[in-house]
Amino acid sequence: MKNVLIVKPSALGDIVQATCVLPALKSAFPGIRITWLTFEHNAEIVRDHPLIDGVISIRRKGGLLRTLPGLVRSLRDPEFDTIIDLQCLLRSAILSRLTGCARRIGFADGREQATLFYTEKYDIPVHAMHAVDRYLTLCERLGAALSIETTFPVPVRDAHRARISALLADFARGELLVAMCPTAKWQSKQWPAASFAAVADILAHRCNAKVVLLGSPSETEIVADVAARMTHECLDLSGRVSLMELAALFERADLFVGNDSGLMHLASATRTPTAAIFGPTDPARTGPYNPHARAIKLHLECMPCFKRACESLRCMKELTVQTVAGACEDILSQAWKRRENGRDRASLPR
């Protein structure tokens, strides 16, 4: 493998976790050139990446057919010798075939008849392991020797860190810093706004923590609802910062609190201590891949159901504020002990 295209257009959290293949492939195949195909709205996570040599971005809705001729040219011009489709859906498989590359790799359990377009299919069961381990097992099958430490390189630059420092300058002056994202793409993954507000107030009161609320530009109303319910001061940065600026914030945070979401995986990639709230999905398969993360969930007979919408939402409604706040307080107490001992986040064991 000399010139490889990785096809993984979505979703944000999946892309973050899939970046674990980059160190493995770069180490195994010296001089390898890696291009990543992604949707435009996710391109920031792979653009200017130190281990990625090129990015091909496509529009998810409305623009694919119109731009298809140009897209086909961009897929064929580099003359890839290997395509690795980590998405394994019909659309990604077709895009792999449009490259004209003779070697197209995917998982044997690809959905929507995607496997018809692969020349090599690897049987690595999705139910048997975490998604990250599945990606790494594929790399191993392709000849990569895996290292003991799994990393998720994130292209955070000094400009991103400077912006976050400026935003926090008048808000946090050395207190414990909590980054909280109360949103999720699935309705069934969202813990109630009132519950997030209650946890934020508890952490602000008991731990003297400063809470920063986060969300995408389309989620500002949900975040504003949480802020309005709080009795303590918070900083609402929803829709105001880029993905890499969020990663810079996570580098400074003592704790991330949130649902199963893309930002949860981004926080995990920066090794931020994390309290991740799970309901319909399975943390054993898609949870934060971070030794300093805790998946908080109930144990109901219907879990995990993997449903995007649910009428009862028992897994979310019955998860108490006290349970989540207790886990968060425990994590913050450890962060405060590190400060008292003159250590910082870098001292956390990998």
Residue 284 has pLDDT above 70, yes or no: yes
Tell me if 72 is assigned to some domain. yes
Owner of token pair 């001089």: 31
243 and 207 in one domain? yes
Contact 86, 95 (CB under 8 A): no
The pair of three-digit structure tokens given for residue 222, joined into one six-digit string: 């949900």
Split at pLDDT 50, 70, 90, the class of 126 is confident
Tell me if 153 is assigned to some domain. no
343 and 202 in one domain? yes
How do the residues of the chain divide into helix, strand and coil, expressed in percent and rounded to 5?
A: 40, 15, 45
Split at pLDDT 50, 70, 90, the class of 262 is very high
Tell me if 149 is assigned to some domain. no
Tell me if 117 is assigned to some domain. yes
Contact 75, 98 (CB under 8 A): yes
Split at pLDDT 50, 70, 90, the class of 340 is confident
Q: Structure pTM? A: 0.92
Whichever domain contains 106, its CATH number is: 3.40.50.2000
Q: How far apart are CA 349 and CA 91, in angstroms?
A: 40
126 and 48 in one domain? yes
pLDDT tens digits for 164-182? 999 999 999 889 999 999 9
200 and 73 in one domain? no
Q: What is the mean pLDDT of residues 262-271?
A: 95
235 CB-side CA count, 13 A:
19
Give φ, ψ of 180 to 5 degrees: -130, 125
SS3 (DSSP) at 56 = strand
Residue 299 has pLDDT above 70, yes or no: yes
Contact 8, 86 (CB under 8 A): yes
Split at pLDDT 50, 70, 90, the class of 341 is confident
Residue 158 has pLDDT above 80, yes or no: yes
Q: How far apart are CA 178 and CA 274, in angstroms?
A: 10
217 and 134 in one domain? no
What is the b/e burial string over 184-193, where b = at least 16 CB atoms within 10 angstroms of the residue's CB?
bbbebbbbbb
Q: Give the number of domains in the chain.
A: 2
The burial class, CB within 10 Å (0-12 / 13-18 / 19+), for 55 is middle
The pair of three-digit structure tokens given for residue 128, joined into one six-digit string: 């048997």
310 and 168 in one domain? yes
Mean of all residue pLDDT scores within the chain: 93
DSSP string, 160-191: HHHHHHHHHTTT-SSS-EEEEE---SSGGG--
Tell me if 155 is assigned to some domain. no
Tell me if 59 is assigned to some domain. yes
Residue 50: which domain range?
3-141
pLDDT tens digits for 77-103? 778 999 999 999 999 999 999 999 999
Q: What is the mean pLDDT of residues 247-272?
A: 96
CB atoms < 10 A from the CB of 14, how many? Answer: 18
